Amino acid sequence: MNNLNGNGKYLPKTVGIVYSDVQKKYFPSRQAYLTEKDAKKEAQSMAKYLEKIGIKPFLFAGNDTLPKLLKENRPQVVINLVDSFKGIDYMASAIPGVLDLLEIPYTGAGILGQSLNYNKFLTKKLFEQNGIPVPRYQLMYSYKEPLDSTLRYPLITKLNGIHGAVEITFDSISFNEKHLRQRVKHMTTTYDQPVLIEEFIVGREISAALLEGLNKKVYMGEILIDYPGDHTYSFKSFELQWQSKYQNAIKYQKYNDPILVEYVKKAFNIADMADYARFDIRLDNSGRYFFIDANTNPYIGPLADESPFTRILDLYDVSFTEILKRLLINTVKELGVKV
């Protein structure tokens, strides 16, 4: 027998951890590389926690050796941590495909959910048509395209197919068309992909983490930003998340609203997510919510590694070890894994 938990479900005896194979040459910018450079280290850290609860871990790089190694080792469950394949984010959706073909159960979203995750424009369309509030937005393939006249400044620019706050910097907010088009030109040229433009919502920011178990449980944290300067247009930027000089600039405090909880659960289902997810939401000065980002398979790691997902659940006394157990038990339960 192995690791009986309070719900009477057993944890698997062997777990594979698949992580992004990161090489600097794969990535179109230093920013994109920095968001994934520690992928192997993070997988190794997770492996230690699995060993502590009696599970044998296998580590696999998410590259062309993966199918062969999975066949040879046959872990009972795989934790999928892959965010990109050869530096291409949307190719991460190939990993669930490999696991499905080999009939190996895995945590997180499947092919459809992962594919949607790397198309922010399409995700917003789905949310909008199903009653999930989002800011007004436009997708631009070129800086020369006409700007939707209904959009109101300030506007924020985001890469349509890359997460990790890449290019969502202090310079991302535009107050005039000249600056906006400069941003779009830089981003489309550097990353060879369209740019999502949306109205910047002045107000508060909330991060919502959903973790499945016997039911869908939503944990929410309001983001508190502490650094010198004017915070009127502050948000969780790339600098605050990835530059060491801003360490501890982002803090969280508990937030609760049953209305937002229901929005989060609905968004989770609409985007075909599974097991766990994280959403970023803005709350304007009139008390209206706007979903600004959705993340399948968000980074989870020990509290010391500054995982936003783990930090939010820590507010509610849910440890990283407990997160791992619940993810694995949910996968075993849902897919009928024999352990």
The pLDDT tens digits for 178-194 are: 999 999 999 999 999 99
Tell me the average pLDDT across 116-143.
97
Q: Among 7-21, 30-44, 197-211, which stretch is predicted with the lowest mean pLDDT? A: 7-21
| Strand 155-159 versus strand 77-80 pairing type | unpaired
The architecture in CATH of the region 14-108 reads 3-Layer(aba) Sandwich (3.40)
Domain positions in the chain are 14-108, 136-199, 203-296
Average pLDDT, the chain: 93
- Longest alpha-carbon distance in the chain: 65
Question: Rounded to an integer, what distance in angstroms lies between the CA atom of residue 63 and that of residue 264?
Answer: 33
Amino acid at 168: I
For 185, the token pair is 């030109």
- pLDDT of residue 2 exceeding 70, the answer is no
DSSP letter assigned to residue 245: G
Q: Among 75-89, 169-183, 235-249, which stretch is predicted with the lowest mean pLDDT? A: 235-249
pTM of the model: 0.93
Q: What residues contact residue 183 under an 8 Å CB cut-off, 6+ apart?
A: 157, 171, 172, 174, 195
- pLDDT of residue 9 exceeding 80, the answer is no
- Cα→Cα distances 327→19, 22, 138, 215, 221, Å: 17, 25, 35, 12, 20
Amino acid at 118: Y
The three-class DSSP label of residue 77 is strand
Fold of 136-199: Dna Ligase; domain 1 (3.30.1490)
- pLDDT of residue 213 exceeding 90, the answer is no
Residue-level pLDDT at 1: 34
The pLDDT tens digits for 260-274 are: 999 999 999 999 999
Residue-level pLDDT at 10: 74
- pLDDT of residue 278 exceeding 60, the answer is yes
The three-class DSSP label of residue 69 is helix
Question: Rounded to an integer, what distance in angstroms lies between the CA atom of residue 302 and that of residue 324?
Answer: 10
Residue-level pLDDT at 335: 61
Residue owning tokens 């400069």: 182
The order of strands in the sheet holding 14-20 is 56-62, 14-20, 77-80
By C-alpha distance, which of 44, 52, 54 is closest to 4? 54
Helices and strands, counts by H and E, the chain: 11, 12
| CATH class of residue range 203-296 | alpha beta
Residue-level pLDDT at 152: 97
Q: Could you tell me which residues are beta bridge partners of residue 158? A: 196
By C-alpha distance, which of 312, 147, 300 is closest to 220? 312
Question: Rounded to an integer, what distance in angstroms lies between the CA atom of residue 316 and that of residue 188?
Answer: 40
Percent of the chain with pLDDT over 70: 96
Band the pLDDT of 5: cuts 50, 70, 90. very low
Question: Rounded to an integer, what distance in angstroms lies between the CA atom of residue 264 and that of residue 274?
Answer: 13
Helix axes 258-270, 120-129, angle to 10 degrees: 120
Going along the chain, which residue ranges are E strands? 14-20, 56-62, 77-80, 137-140, 155-159, 173-174, 195-199, 203-212, 216-225, 250-254, 276-284, 289-296
For 72, the token pair is 């040879």
Tell me the average pLDDT across 125-150.
97
> CA 258 from chain center: how many Å?
23
Residue owning tokens 């000065």: 285
Residue-level pLDDT at 304: 87
